[in-house]
A and B are shown apart, each in its own frame.
Chain A
Amino acid sequence: MTTIDPTRATCPAPQAETERVLLGHGSGGQLSTELLDDVIIAELGTAGPLEDAALVGIADVDAVFSTDSFVVTPRFFPGGDIGSLAVHGTVNDLAMRGARPVALALAYVLEEGFPLAELRTITASVAAAARACGVPVATGDTKVVGAGAADGVYVTTTGIGVRLRDAFPSAAGGVPGDVVLLSGHVGDHGTAILSAREGLGFEAEIRSDSRPLHDLVAAMIAAGARDVHALRDPTRGGLASALNELAAASEVAVEITDADIPIRPQVAAACELLGLDPLHVANEGCLVAFVAPGSADAVLSAMRGTEAGQAARAIGTVTGGPAGQVTARTTVGARRVVDVLIGEQLPRIC
């Protein structure tokens, strides 16, 4: 019979990857933050809270400015494609600063050999999505690289918008006492992408929630004006990352209740099967807001009156501290800390 010799217990000293970019650096989790802090912001020397879009004064207009690149696999998925996603993503980043989109720029990096028919389909989808948002694609650029140097097509959209009157949402705008509002179900987009991605083999009716949110935001601003303190669309890294980012930028704590977060049954099932946390799964058509308590009910009603906000709910509150901490009340009534995703989200068996 074996007896355990504690001195035999070994433990590795891994070499953390510090030389090359990992897929996880693009996950929207902790690795993404490190890449920004240690390399990009370090070199650019930018300061201040990380916002979805920047306010830039042009003459006497408060313009809002944002850019985003899209590299989704697969390029076509239930509920959308890389073209519509590229429009919605940038329109939504502008909307998170309380802006109405005015114009988009569209840039393609194409791989040699990419089918023109598919490029036409994607571009038609960009056009349809932009039309539906009421925003023109005003300018653009196309580059082609050799076969193997890119994965088919990469799409970058840049948007400019105008800040709505009385709209001052900022990642740093949350104050203790604010109500945390969520506009709809979480996890749809990430789960739809996972399901459509070759290999996981789900025959699911899970559709991405990819859609524009500027009308929803306009309704919220109309109802709550300056009481809408912070807005964020929880894309990569999911609701958990978005709440952690807002809590850190606003220097507040956030408490949410697990049971109040709407998740569609199939999305919940996919997360159960793959061992994913729905709060870490990406969304492309919902937002989370910090709203002053006096306006929370009015803003929530306004949200529910829009197509994108039908399932809106209050999911928690903003508290005084500790700054940056997000906690959740669990199903059985205990509390846990809601952490950000570390790197790439991986299905697990155990």
Chain B
Amino acid sequence: MKYLDEYRDPALAVKLLAELHATATRPWAVMEVCGGQTHTLVRQGIDELLPAGIRMIHGPGCPVCVTPLEVIDKALAIAARPEVIFTSYGDMLRVPGSAGDLLGVRARGGDVRVVYTPLDAVRIARQHPDREVVFFAVGFETTAPANAMAVRYAADAGIGNFSVLVSHVLVPPAITALLDAPDNQVQGFLAAGHVCAVMGWTEYEPIAARYRVPIVVTGFEPLDLLEGILMAVRQLEQGRSEVENQYARAVRRTGNTAAQEVVRRVFRVTERNWRGIGPIPTSGLALAAEFSAYDADTRFATTGVRTEENPDCIAGAILRGTKLPTDCAAYGTRCTPRTPLGAPMVSAEGTCAAFHNSGRRPAPSTVEEIG
């Protein structure tokens, strides 16, 4: 496919790896924020080809992994109602709540449907005026414009039987929270290319300046990642801390203003709880007052559930990049993609699942802090 295949050329990958080996003179830790990039790194085995000192820390950039448990529990409660058609991206169906997952709700007779686009959820609401259609609006800044547009169309068309359960999160506040953590080990960031396609990179400039970390806006193909890593390492080697754009074919500095506008109109910024990290101020989106009638949370009066922590799971440390999945006592034994204890083992993009699916097996019994 044009604009994909060119960026998978093995000969160019070999060149980039050689350049990276020649550039890196000492160890560096770089975080790819985005789960999609984690997926490419692991599925292609790229992290095993990197110079020994270059450590990729897999960040919290998987909306599935950071969606708090109480939101999953709300989704399960709403989806189980007989009048509801619950629509979701496929990602969320296997995420465990405190009592099962959406696939389990479907097995027990709940009407749970996977949609490719939120516009399909609106279409289903139009086709079934006698049912309540709820869409699970999760995701980062990339997905927020699509989800916002769906709400706006439903409002414009006067479709009253449509509502959204919102759990949107924003990347820059999470990066800031990671950098503020006392155990932070991240020295440079690959920023998520498609988040920046929507938002641009102006938000990252103050972060790079204040924390003196290089940030490279990076695409998703093997060559994109290798080049992004090379650009970050070059900056680190030269003592620079700038925002650079590797993904120039898709990302401009100011992003996509039309998409930003609809997000600003339909959503408002709010505090969000990140699974494994905790509450981060101004790190999420909720429906703006004008669209509050479309909030499934109030429409179905769902209340959060306090969940017992599983002391075995180190999801928090994994999402912050201070531990590897193989450092976890439960990894590969009590916690597998088939029986996940925590979200990072659920999504194909979750760090633990990515490790497990690529055959990384539990480390020897000594569990060490990495770094």
Contact = CB atoms under 8 A, between A and B. Distances in A.
B259 interface: no
A17 B115 contact: no
A147 B277 CA distance: 50
B348 A348 contact: yes
A332 B46 contact: yes
A275 interface: yes
B7 to A, nearest CB: 10
Interface in B210-267: 222, 226
7 contacts: A9-B319, A268-B1, A330-B43, A332-B13, A335-B45, A342-B94, A350-B35
Contacts of A17: 100-101, 103-104, 107
Contacts of A265: 1
Interface string A1-33: 111111011111111110011111000001100
Max count, chain B CB within 10 A of own CB: residue among A14, A259, A265, A348: A14
B180 A342 contact: no
A contacts with B: majority SS: loop
Contacts of B42: 336
Interface string B32-54: 00011000001111101100000
A343 to B, nearest CB: 7
Given A3-B181, A275-B348, A339-B358, 8 more contacts: A8-B277, A12-B307, A201-B116, A269-B1, A332-B45, A336-B43, A347-B90, A348-B90
B155 to A, nearest CB: 23
Given A334-B44, A344-B103, A350-B139, A12 B310 contact: yes
A2 B342 contact: no
Interface string B89-107: 1110110111111011011
Nearest to A265: B1
A343 B310 contact: no
Contacts, number: 211
Nearest to A8: B278
A335 B360 CA distance: 12
A8 B320 CA distance: 12
Closest 10 CB pairs of A and B: A9-B316, A334-B45, A14-B96, A337-B359, A346-B90, A11-B313, A8-B278, A11-B342, A332-B13, A347-B90
B362 interface: no
Interface of A: 1-6, 8-17, 20-24, 30-31, 34, 199-201, 259, 265, 268-269, 272-275, 325, 327, 330-337, 339, 342-344, 346-350
Max count, chain B CB within 10 A of own CB: residue among A9, A31, A274: A9
Interface string B65-101: 0001100100000000000000001110110111111
Nearest to B13: A332
Given A350-B139, A350-B349, A200 B116 contact: yes
Contact of A30 (B117, B226, B312, B338): B338
A327 B360 CA distance: 12
Contacts of B279: 2
Contact of A330 (B44, B90, B342): B44
B115 A199 contact: yes
A345 to B, nearest CB: 8
Nearest to B181: A4
A332 B44 contact: yes
B8 A12 contact: no
Given A16-B339, A325-B359, A11 B115 contact: no
B14 A333 contact: yes
B35 A13 contact: no
Contacts of B315: 9-11
A24 B337 CA distance: 13
Contacts of A327: 359
Contact of A11 (B46, B62, B101, B316): B316
A2 B340 contact: no
Max count, chain B CB within 10 A of own CB: residue among A15, A21, A336, A348: A348
A17 B339 CA distance: 9
A264 B119 CA distance: 28
B240 to A, nearest CB: 25
A350 B36 contact: yes
Contacts of B222: 331-332
A259 B14 CA distance: 16
Contacts of B44: 330-332, 334, 336
A23 B106 CA distance: 9
Contacts of B338: 16, 30-31, 34, 342-343
Given A199-B113, A334-B44, A349 B91 contact: yes
Given A4-B277, A23-B107, A350-B139, A12 B341 contact: yes
Contacts of A12: 69, 72, 96-98, 307, 310, 341-343
B80 to A, nearest CB: 14
Contacts of B183: 6
A349 B43 contact: no
A2 B178 CA distance: 9
B104 A22 contact: yes
Interface in B1-60: 1, 4, 8, 10, 13-14, 17, 35-36, 42-46, 48-49
Interface in B87-142: 89-91, 93-94, 96-101, 103-104, 106-108, 113-117, 120, 139-140
B284 interface: no
Contact of A350 (B10, B64, B113): B64
A270 B270 CA distance: 36
A347 B316 contact: no
A329 to B, nearest CB: 9
A38 B315 CA distance: 30
